[in-house]
Every structure is written in C-alpha cells, then in structure tokens.
C-alpha cells in the first residue's frame, strides 16, 4: 500500500520549462558559448545543475561548468523573468493527498536555494514532510536522494511512489526499487517514461488519486 508519494518539482508540479531553458540560454550568452536550442536545453531538465550543464556544454571543463552553473543560478534566482506557475490541479492534488494522510516529499534536480524560493512563492512548503535537492546529495538517476527520503520517513521502497516527468525520475525510482508513474505535460514524452519503467502516465495530475485507489 502506498504511504509516501515523492514528487519531482520542475515539469511535474511546476511549469518551469520555459524559465529553465531561458536561463540556460542566457548563461551561454554570458560566457560566450553557442546558445543551445530549446530542444537541446529541454533534454537536460531534471538533472542536477552541474550535471545538466556538463551534458549541455561538453566542451566546457570543470571550472567552466561551474561558471556556467553560477551564471544560470544568478538568472534563475533573479526576478528578471516571470515566475513559473504550478500546473493546473497541482495545489489541489497536494492538499487532497495531505488531507488523506499520505506522506509527501520532493526529490528534485534543483538547488536547495532554488527549491526553497519556489516553496515560499507557492506557499506549499508546509505540505511536504521532507525534500531533497541535487546540491545536497547525488543527482538523478542515482537513487540516493530517494533512499534518503525513504530512510527519513521510515518507509520501505514498496510503500512509496515516485511521480515525475522525465526518464531520470523513472530511473531513480527503478534504481531504488520503488514504483513510479509519469505525467505527460513535462519534458519527456509518455513512451520514453514507459520505457524507463513508469507504471502509468497521466495527462493531468488530477488522475493520480483515482489511480492510487
């Protein structure tokens, strides 16, 4: 029986793809790198920032990866771009699951600072029992952040469910032997999520409670 639901943030609960892509492109401009297309930039969403930057700019060495990551972070944490919005039904879903007694968690490729800012803006922080970010543990698809969440909540892998929008989420769950489902409104298409191990893919977040029942 599912007792713990672990959500990805970007592309799953928050419609932040456009903001992330714009910040990656601006970081490239700042440091004189070829500006990646939106399609290439989208491909790395879901990874930890330094891992994403290294994959997007393979010509950059370690020091340059850090400079690009720092430039991205400056733009993302500033108010120069419009803030992202929650996907329709996300707030209602989380509130309903919390009222039903589920433990809720976040496992994200975002930095702690970035996640805390968005939790404050959305007012959702109080709904989550625990959150883990890529700058404080290993990034997806490594299972470490999920294992830490399981340990913190005292739940076994079969008692948890991962909800995400990328193959990195599905692979993280598989590596921790935890069930996972996907959402189709994020970065990776449904067939890619299913190939990576998703038990189901939902077109809207509102489908999750019925599936859990």
Instruction: Dump pLDDT digits (tens) for 27-54.
Output: 999 999 999 999 999 989 988 899 999 9
Segments forming the whole domain that contains residue 64: 17-77
Question: Any idea which residue has 């996300």 for tokens?
Answer: 90
Question: DSSP 3-state assignment of 57?
Answer: coil
Residue finishing a domain among 77, 100, 123: 77
Q: How confident is the model at residue 3 (pLDDT cuts 50, 70, 90)?
A: very high
Let me know whether 71 and 98 are in one domain. Answer: no
Q: List, in sequence order, every residue forming a beta bridge with 6; answer none if it has no partner.
A: 105, 162
In terms of Cα–Cα distance, which of 118, 170, 143 is closest to 9?
118
Let me know whether 31 and 134 are in one domain. Answer: no
Let me know whether 41 and 122 are in one domain. Answer: no
Let me know whether 41 and 93 are in one domain. Answer: no
pLDDT above 90 covers a percentage of the chain that reads: 90
Q: Is the pLDDT of residue 183 over 90?
A: yes
Question: Any idea which residue has 């032997």 for tokens?
Answer: 177
In terms of Cα–Cα distance, which of 57, 77, 78, 76 is closest to 68?
57
Tokens standing for residue 180: 């996972």
- What average pLDDT does the chain have? 95
pLDDT reported for residue 112: 94
193 vs 104: CA distance, rounded Å: 22
pLDDT reported for residue 128: 98
Q: What CATH number should be reported for the domain holding residue 43?
A: 1.10.150
Let me know whether 139 and 185 are in one domain. Answer: yes
Let me know whether 88 and 107 are in one domain. Answer: yes
135 vs 54: CA distance, rounded Å: 15
**Contact in structure between 14 and 86 (CB atoms under 8 Å):** yes
Let me know whether 105 and 27 are in one domain. Answer: no
**pLDDT per residue as tens digits for the range 131-151:** 999 999 999 999 999 999 999
Let me know whether 8 and 22 are in one domain. Answer: no
**pLDDT per residue as tens digits for the range 65-118:** 999 999 999 998 887 777 789 999 999 999 999 999 999 999 999 989 989 999
Distances, alpha carbon 119 to alpha carbons 10, 66, 76, 85, in Å = 12, 25, 15, 12
74 vs 71: CA distance, rounded Å: 5
The count of structural domains within the chain is 2
**Contact in structure between 172 and 127 (CB atoms under 8 Å):** no
Write down the pTM of the prediction: 0.91
**Contact in structure between 143 and 172 (CB atoms under 8 Å):** yes
Mean pLDDT along residues 110-133: 94
pLDDT reported for residue 66: 95
Q: What CATH number should be reported for the domain holding residue 91?
A: 3.40.50.1000
């Amino acid at each position: 029986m599912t007792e713990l639901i672990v959500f990805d943030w970007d592309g799953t609960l928050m419609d932040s793809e456009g903001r992330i892509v714009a910040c990656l492109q601006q970081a490239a401009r700042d440091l004189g790198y070829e500006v990646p297309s939106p399609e290439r930039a989208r491909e790395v969403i879901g990874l930890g920032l330094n891992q994403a930057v290294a994959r997007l700019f393979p010509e950059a060495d370690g020091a340059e990866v850090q400079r690009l990551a720092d430039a991205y972070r400056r733009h993302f944490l500033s108010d120069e771009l419009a803030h992202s919005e929650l996907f329709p039904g996300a707030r209602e879903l989380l509130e309903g699951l919390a009222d039903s007694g589920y433990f809720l968690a976040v496992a994200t490729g975002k930095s702690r600072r970035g996640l805390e800012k968005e939790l404050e803006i959305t007012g959702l922080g109080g709904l989550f029992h625990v959150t883990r970010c890529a700058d404080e543990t290993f990034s997806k698809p490594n299972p470490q952040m999920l294992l830490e969440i399981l340990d913190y909540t005292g739940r076994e892998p079969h008692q948890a469910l991962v909800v995400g929008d990328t193959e990195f989420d599905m692979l993280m769950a598989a590596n921790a032997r935890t069930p996972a489902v996907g959402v189709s409104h994020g970065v990776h298409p449904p067939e890619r999520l299913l190939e990576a191990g998703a038990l189901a893919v939902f077109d809207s977040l509102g489908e999750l409670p019925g599936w859990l029942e």
